[in-house]
Amino acid sequence: MPAVEQVTKATFARIFVKSDWHLFKAMAQFHLSRATSLRTADVAYVPQPWRLLARNAQKRLAIGIGTELLLKALYLKHGFVINKPRQKHSVLKFPFTVAQAAGVTLANNDTYMLGELINKLSSVPAMDGLGALDRGLRIAKVFRNKEGHVVLPTHPYNAQDYPDIEQSLVEIYSRGFGETLHVKFSFRAGEKATWRVSRG
């Protein structure tokens, strides 16, 4: 890795601890709540022919980023480690708890990614048995990956993708955080955006 990349990456390095879940969740909510109500007027600096495309791309990217941060918050809150072991062939297999990681050197610049977080989510006791929850998370993962890597002139709108993501988020808030989430991503004309969280 070039030196400039190592130096820059080091500015993000940290061994995350359980209490960090609050910050991860707060930033997840920032991205997700912003995605619910982002309008074409909010991307007015984009030339008119691509304004709707830019708005939708920004929404999907925020959904993906917010979902990853939310899952990391969930793992941390429930006592799991999100940093990878520094040794590539560690006996530790994700997910592992803080107690299980005792004596193992963790990488302060490498955390588990969204795909790994989704794949092992049912290992978190509160999330046992994902069921339909899995589909929405995987859609969010694709949104994050594709919007961060490519640009298409058009993107087919699958109306079911967003309710699936919403349902996944509702379940995560309920089972993982003991909160009630009301969420609606506004995409079509006339749709009212919703983001409201309450205890219980």
DSSP string across 67-108: HHHHHHHHHHHTTB--EEESSTT-S--SS-BTTTTTTPPEEE
> If residue 111 lies in a helix (H) or strand (E), which one and from where to where?
strand 106-111
Q: Which residue has the higher pLDDT, 8 or 33?
A: 33
Residue 138, pLDDT above cutoff 90: yes
Q: What is the pLDDT of residues 74-113, one digit of tens each?
A: 999 999 999 999 987 788 999 999 999 999 999 999 999 9
The highest-confidence range among 5-19, 140-154, 163-177, by mean pLDDT, is: 163-177
CA 165 to chain centre: 11
Query: How far apart are alpha carbons 28 and 11 in whole angstroms?
Result: 20
Q: In the structure, what pLDDT confidence band is assigned to residue 129 with cuts at 50, 70 and 90?
A: confident
0.85 exceeded by pTM: yes
